[in-house]
Amino acid sequence: MVFPVAGARTAPRSSPREGRSLLLAVFLVAGCLLLAAAGGPAQAQEPAGPARNSGEWRNFGRDPGGSQHSPLAQINRGNVARLELAWTHRSGDFAEGEFGVGSTQQAVPLMVNGLVYFCTPFNRVFAVNAESGEEVWVFDARAALTGAEAERAGQSRRPSTCRGVAYWEQAEASSAPCAQRVFKGDFTGAVHAIDALTGEACRDFGEASGHPGYVSHWDYEGYGEGEVRGMSSPPVVLGDLVIAGSGSDDGVANANDGVVRAFDARSGEMVWEFNPIPPEQSAVTGAANVWATMSADPARNLVFLPTTSPSVDYYGGGRRADLPLANAVVAVDGATGKPSWSFQTVHHDLYDYDLPGHALLVTIRKDGKARDVAIQQTKTGHLFVFDRDTGEPVFPVEERPIPPSGLPDETAFPTQPIPTGIASFARQELGRESLFGITVFDRDWCRRRFDESRYDGLFTPPSRRGSILFPSALGGGNWGGAAFDPKTNLLIIKAENLATWLRLAPREAGGHDGPRDYLNRALRGTPYRVEGEVWISPSGFPCTPPPWGTLSAIDMDSGELRWQVPLGRLRAMGVTLPAAFGWGSPSVGGPIVTAGGLVFVASTLDHNLRALDLETGEELWSGALPAPGMTVPITYRAGARQFVVIAAGGNARAGTAQSDAVVAFALPSGSD
């Protein structure tokens, strides 16, 4: 293993939080974390049509399959140490404060038409010049809402989460308005269409529904109780369809079903809807929605959906029926909205182990052959790799026994699918003697809690006395966390190694439900409420042994771990821990890889964007950011230069500094 020493610098304008509140907030972030000739290395597949421009970044993961790989190599191992700040854009869209007050910036920009497009926590979309960062236009999605959607948005501006926008352009060249469109989902359940060149609303989109410029999930049946939650991740474009997920309240037994809808990119007419909940169970349970990013395969006309747990999470006594499309990778036919194939990664989820990101649709080299696959990361730290046509596992999957539930009204599924022959990228087991403590007192406290709680390894279910869940529901893996390099056949993936303590407590009839956050809330429609906390010691350090955040490289032929390094630096008790400790940092976001032999990644609690050697994991450069870049960077070519760009707005849920900055780095002008 390589444990490099980071030359990280702390940016000014920080207002770090400390101790237990910091790590608790980091955890709350979760809820709220792709043919070559035979015998040669697999090569990157470029999509057909205009997206063949390798200098652009047109999709969340650059290509429709979400590989998070760029073929650009102007910036490479030999010169990356010379990267310098090229420009900074400030939107003004941020709010300082803790969770629920301050802003969280997780946007992953796009670059098309010489413009960088990104959204902000205040429901606005910006287009800036890709070379200079100069502002070109701004679209205010909240101001565009009318009627019921405007009422749902409310009178006050409040921060929300936006992980990005989607881009579409018509196949035939045209100078007509809205021939190129940016699509943005918002926290009210609306999807807006914006002219990519002017920033004006495309009023033909949604006009037939009575609100020109956008469509709304509220115009359709919700199939359950509660309200349709907004979209934190961008839609995905497949041909002339824009496909959008929807949010659900998984703390309600009969939550609204997690419907995914495909809309005509021009008119906004709904073409199809996919519901992961069977009709006969729709009045019993809900959710299984897609909150994370999606990926698409234009050649096969498939969209890949990572679905979540059915409601309620942590307790399944009221949903005993088979729900095969929940917690599943679902390849959906773009023409019909019907599943082509699916694979459930967790049966009868009691752990909130929903799928936290898109399947990477890439071409790997396996056993001497190029294979088109879908690689799905999970919160458990497992990697599932499927044949893209059939859904058959490329690395074998076994059903293994797991611990039973101790609740009289609950039955845990007896087995869970475990991939074999490929390394896990996150730690999955704890031992009492390995528990961490910064002091003897802290270590002893962690051991006492361990002794008092239920822990039977991976998939330990929640209990009345309290259970330790490891990996936590944050993961393991989380959104944006993986990238694939076709030259080396390496998957680069980040992990978080934290645990949570959870208890199911009886709900008192007519009693107050108590605090509500990601780990503490009523499970409405059930006999229980869930009480939980990040498992950390009184001094604010995790009870799990470090490193608490890692970045790994996995060989997609052998399935072996090529290297693993601690990622980032943790700040606790008012001190940023030295990189030499090798303890890493909890993180939100993920890496990209480039043909220059580099991995670019931020995502940690410190204020740094890093460049690592793709083949060794050695850190080669770090650049200071105004606030943590807890998202995914992008890279593109504009004019004569390659740029690396990241939204560095921090994360109120993680207790970091907040900012409104989007930051670009490049080699000095005139450099090769």
Catalytic residues: 352
CA–CA separation, 226 vs 46, rounded Å?
A: 42
Q: Are 584 and 547 in contact (CB under 8 A)?
A: yes
- What element of type H or E holds 25? helix 19-28
SS3 493: strand
Residue for token digits 């390496």? Answer: 490
Q: Residue 199: name the closest of 266, 118, 254, 133 by CA.
A: 118
Instruction: Return the biggest CA–CA distance within the chain.
Output: 71
Give the three-class secondary structure for 437: coil
| Cβ(194)–Cβ(201) below 8 Å | yes
Q: Is 148 in a helix, a strand, or coil?
A: helix
H/E segment holding residue 521? strand 521-522
Q: What is the SS3 string spanning 117-145?
A: EEECCCCEEEEEECCCCCEEEEEEHHHHC
d(CA 256, CA 254): 7
Token duo for residue 553: 């490289």
The sheet carrying 110-112 orders its strands as 110-112, 115-119, 124-129, 135-140
Contact 631, 507 (CB under 8 A): no
Rounded distance between C-alpha atoms, residue 575 and residue 554, angstroms: 33
Q: Is 178 exposed, middle or buried (0-12, 13-18, 19+ CB in 10 A)?
A: buried
* 40 contacts: CB under 8 Å, gap ≥ 6: none
Determine which helix (DSSP H) or strand (DSSP E) holds 28, and give its type and residue range: helix 19-28
Q: Are strands 397-401 and 490-496 parallel, antiparallel or unpaired?
A: unpaired
* The pairing of beta strand 236-238 with beta strand 608-613: unpaired
Nearest in space to 595 (alpha carbons), one of 651, 648, 635, 639: 635
- Show the tokens assigned to 283: 């009045």
Determine the Cα–Cα distance for residues 502 and 471; give it in Å rounded to an integer: 12
Q: How far is CA 530 from CA 155, 222, 226, 315, in A?
A: 32, 25, 19, 9
Element (DSSP H or E) covering residue 482:
strand 482-485
Residue pointed to by tokens 């980040």: 494
3-state secondary structure 320-361: CCCCCCCCEEEEEECCCCCEEEEEECCCCCCCCCCCCCCCEE
β-sheet bridge partners, residue 89: 662
